[in-house]
Amino acid sequence: MSGIDSRTTKVALICTIPITAHSFYMPLARALKKNGYDVSFCFGDGPEANIIRSEGFQVKTLSIRRKPTALGNILALFQLTVFLRRNEVVMIETSTPIASAVGRLAAVLAGVPIRVNTIRGMFPRKTHKWQSLLFDCTEMALHRISSFTVTINESDKQELLRKGFAEPHKILNMGCGSVGVDLERFNPYRYERDMIKKMKTTFDMRENDFVVTFIGRLTEDKGISEYIEVIEALSGKNDAIKGLVVGDVLEDEHEAVSRTTLEAMLVEKGIRNKVTLTGHRDDVPDLMAITDVVVLPSKREGFGMVLAEAAAMEKPVVAYRCRGVEEAVIEGKTGFIIEPGDINGFAAAIQYLFSNKNRAREIGLAARTEAETRFDQTKVVERYLKVFNHVIHAKLP
């Protein structure tokens, strides 16, 4: 490729599954396009591909699989290399572990000069020591072929610097998962009391029911089983406490908990009538509007985007302590952080919010203020644009 012109730079956004592209990348893609970049997407096939194409973006579907040893990833590497070379892409942005590895390797093979990688959470160290070592070795090699690294929490940034995987002038912490929160979409003031009451009736809930909501993939890693235990612990304390589970199992999911298994768990514990399973939903703000507390009993998080969205909706949160959560939640101000595995402590925090509605309201208001300051999508996308412009101009002849 002869020179690079920032006005016509071809950028490929690469991730593993289409729902990630649609949920995380679209605000950034629109902003890049508005600023003169020629943007394309590369990810596994799915219904979101046509939605993205309808906005005028080129989409290349690949056989990227979330399982590291899947043979399909070799084919994806070949397909991606050909696509990047034929389309004369000059910059890639990769995200999620498998796609970031396949994407950066393909970029090198295709001669793509600029390779930006967003790390959405480092590998858990205590529970997966050998896998963690393999992850470190892989990341060390891949960082050598990266032009710039973005993290979504400060802890990951400091770890990468400490290990020498990144240089200080080639790494930035965004301080927020995804590309921030759309504060107009996640806006509690859009919902009047009568609207909330009506929405609750669609889930057979009463107006005064206290709704404890889990939003995320149905996996052990996200703590769905422990969420059920928490609801069980609360079930005898007050009939007004109800559970809402929003999410489903993704393809190639690790430690997945199927809806059938979840139903059986609820029946076994005698709380089937207290928990509503919605499956995957696109109306998350509506569901948060009828929610009183959002919970995240996850074992590990890069950031915990649902916590930022809950903050925008003025909802207090209760979550297990882990790297990303400790930066997404201000303990005692925007929610409560519980030590992992402490079911009784988790339940006690929810019970406290139930019994102290005024305090819960104060926490919710403080959370919205934090969301406006730290998680505003407009500000996060602006920071991403600065990164892209910076690395582009650094490569201009």
Q: For residue range 218-235, list pLDDT tens digits in order.
A: 999 899 999 999 999 998
Shared domain check, 149 and 31: yes
Residue 70: what pLDDT? 72
Determine whether 144 is exposed, middle or buried from the number of CB atoms within 10 Å of its CB (0-12, 13-18, 19+).
Answer: exposed
Q: How confident is the model at residue 23 (pLDDT cuts 50, 70, 90)?
A: confident
Task: Round the average pLDDT of the chain to a whole number and report it.
Answer: 90
Taking the C-alpha atoms of residue 135 and residue 137, their distance in angstroms, rounded to an integer, is 6
* Angle, helix 72-86 to helix 97-110, in steps of 10 degrees: 50
Provide mean pLDDT across the span 318-330.
94
Residue 210 token pair = 């206290």
8-state DSSP, 250: P
CATH number of residue 154's parent domain = 3.40.50.2000
Q: How confident is the model at residue 1 (pLDDT cuts 50, 70, 90)?
A: very low
Shared domain check, 370 and 270: yes
Q: Is the pTM of this model over 0.75?
A: yes
Residue 64: what pLDDT? 82
DSSP 3-state of 275? strand
Residue 129: what pLDDT? 61
Model pLDDT for residues 121-151, shown as the tens digit of each residue: 665 555 556 566 776 777 788 888 999 999 9
* 29 C-beta neighbours (distance < 10 Å), count: 25
Shared domain check, 32 and 162: yes
Shared domain check, 145 and 251: no
Domain annotation covers residue 79 = yes
Provide mean pLDDT across the span 312-334.
96
Residue 126: what pLDDT? 55
DSSP 3-state of 150? strand
Q: For residue 44, is pLDDT > 50?
A: yes
Q: How confident is the model at residue 396 (pLDDT cuts 50, 70, 90)?
A: low
Residue 253: what pLDDT? 64
Residue 150: what pLDDT? 94
Q: Express the helix, strand and coil content of the chain in percent, nearest 5 each.
A: 45, 20, 35
Residue 121: what pLDDT? 67
Taking the C-alpha atoms of residue 100 and residue 160, their distance in angstroms, rounded to an integer, is 16
Q: For residue 300, is pLDDT > 90?
A: no
Q: 71: Cβ–Cβ under 8 A, 6 or more apart, which residues? A: none
Taking the C-alpha atoms of residue 59 and residue 55, their distance in angstroms, rounded to an integer, is 11
Determine whether 179 is exposed, middle or buried from the number of CB atoms within 10 Å of its CB (0-12, 13-18, 19+).
Answer: buried
8-state DSSP, 249: P
- Do 381 and 179 touch, CB atoms closer than 8 A? yes
Q: How confident is the model at residue 3 (pLDDT cuts 50, 70, 90)?
A: very low
Provide mean pLDDT across the span 354-367.
97
Find tokens 């909501």 and name the residue. 213
Taking the C-alpha atoms of residue 373 and residue 183, their distance in angstroms, rounded to an integer, is 11
Domain annotation covers residue 2 = no
Residue 351: what pLDDT? 97
Shared domain check, 213 and 140: no
Q: Which residues span the domain enclosing 169?
A: 10-180+377-395
Shared domain check, 219 and 163: no
When mean pLDDT is compared across 157-171, 242-256, 272-286, 341-355, the lowest value belongs to 242-256
**Total of domains in the chain:** 2
Q: For residue 240, is pLDDT > 90?
A: yes
Shared domain check, 201 and 141: no
Taking the C-alpha atoms of residue 326 and residue 154, their distance in angstroms, rounded to an integer, is 10
Shared domain check, 198 and 143: no
DSSP 3-state of 214? strand
Q: What φ, ψ does residue 177 adopt, rounded to 5°? A: -75, 170
Provide mean pLDDT across the span 98-116.
94
Residue 127: what pLDDT? 52
Model pLDDT for residues 178-197, shown as the tens digit of each residue: 899 999 999 999 999 999 99
Element (H, E) at 194: helix 193-201
8-state DSSP, 164: T
